[in-house]
Homo-oligomer: A and B are copies of this chain.
Amino acid sequence: MFDRTLADVGRRDWADDGDGGTARFATVGCGTYARDVSIPAMAAGEYAEPTVVVSGDAEKRAALTGEFGVTALDYDEFEAGVATDEYDAVYVATPNRLHLPHAETAAGHGKDVICEKPLEATVDRAESLVAACEDAGVRLMTAYRMQTDPVMRRLREFVAGGGIGELRRATGDFTFPVLAGDAGPEQWRLDGRLAGGGALFDVGVYPLNTARFLSGDDPVAVSATTRSPDPAFDEVEQHADARVEFDGWVGGFSGSYTGRPNTRLELLGADGRIAVRSAFEPDADREVVVETPEGTLEATGAGADETVEEFDYFAHATATGGAIDPDGRDGLVDVRTLAAALRSADAGERVEL
């Protein structure tokens, strides 16, 4: 049963304790999430270390230097190759449409790249980003933190071992009230050109990518509908509902930019069911219910901070030459799927991938 798997929930299946060296990170783009979540996660990690930040904002640079003891660069200095001996890898956390030039710069410096999701604002640009890293011979990870969440990794093993039988259906929702924080309607997430998409691109990608991770499958077709009743969302979708067809099962994934915060993921198999609440919030206690013919397990509070895991995972791979699961290709599949979903919503037609 799953409780045997879950008993070992904190296990890092990708590393042996203490092996490998560390990787030092330059963080490019220092928005709220990078400052409050990602850089502290690097600092907390075993293999990761934040050493450089890149920001266009002098105040942010000073504050981050004060808080983390990092070298702070502006974008011109980053492009010019200042302080390249102070970092081994680059974390790209800018608005989506700026991922490509910064990843190109990082690749030009010969640095491995971990890039926020979605990989870019358009399929063409995401493909260029992947190609730039491949051409330069640097590693590329798409920053899917759910793939390093210990609970999700244990669930993946459980699904792969036939714990719920053949997968039949996955559903997942992510409501992120994007205007509820400090950032107002001028933020880049509401700028269609910079973001590439709205709630589907930014948060709907979580249930999509996590279901792909848990199943090991890729989409074959998609159909979607979007709505933006509020004027603040005239450039990006405020609400999106996508139905994604896989070989043998169907996913129903939604993203919303307004409403009560809510995240959920559920997998229905021929023989069992997995339901996860608080599925996608950073460092949340995932509430997991696993039903199988052998019985039902409810578990909560298990696991570790998946963002610490994320940067440690990438740093470990960078330092040891290990493989990266959520690579550029993985990120590309989602950008293609999400872009096709938005085309589908416009056309009212199912789009094959």
Residues of A within 8 A of B (CB): 165, 168-169, 171, 173, 175, 221, 223, 225, 227, 229, 239, 241, 243, 245, 248, 250, 252, 254, 256, 258-260, 262, 264, 266, 268-273, 291, 293, 348-350
With A260-B291, A348-B349, A348-B350: A268-B173 Cβ-Cβ less than 8 Å:
yes
Determine how close the nearest CB of chain B comes to the CB of A36; give it in whole angstroms. 24
Give Cα A168 to B238, complex, Å: 11
Known: A169-B254, A173-B268, A260-B268. 20 other contacts (CB 8 A): A165-B260, A168-B259, A169-B173, A169-B241, A171-B173, A171-B252, A223-B225, A223-B348, A225-B243, A227-B248, A229-B248, A241-B243, A250-B254, A256-B268, A260-B269, A260-B271, A260-B273, A264-B266, A348-B349, A348-B350
Alpha-carbon distance between A262 and B165 when the two chains are bound, in angstroms: 14
Closest chain-B Cβ to A226's Cβ sits at a distance in Å of 9
Q: Which residues of B contact A293 (CB under 8 A)?
A: 260
Question: Which of B239, B262, B268 has a CB less than 8 Å from the CB of A262?
Answer: B268
CB neighbours (8 Å) of A165 from chain B are 259-260
| Copies of this chain per assembly | 2
CA distance A250 to B199 in the complex (A): 15
Checking B259, B264, B270, B350 against A225 with a beta-carbon cut-off of 8 angstroms, the contacting residue is: B350
- What are 22 A-B pairs with beta-carbon distances under 8 A? A165-B260, A168-B175, A169-B173, A171-B171, A171-B252, A175-B268, A223-B223, A225-B250, A250-B254, A256-B268, A259-B270, A259-B271, A260-B271, A260-B273, A260-B291, A260-B293, A262-B273, A264-B266, A348-B349, A348-B350, A349-B349, A349-B350
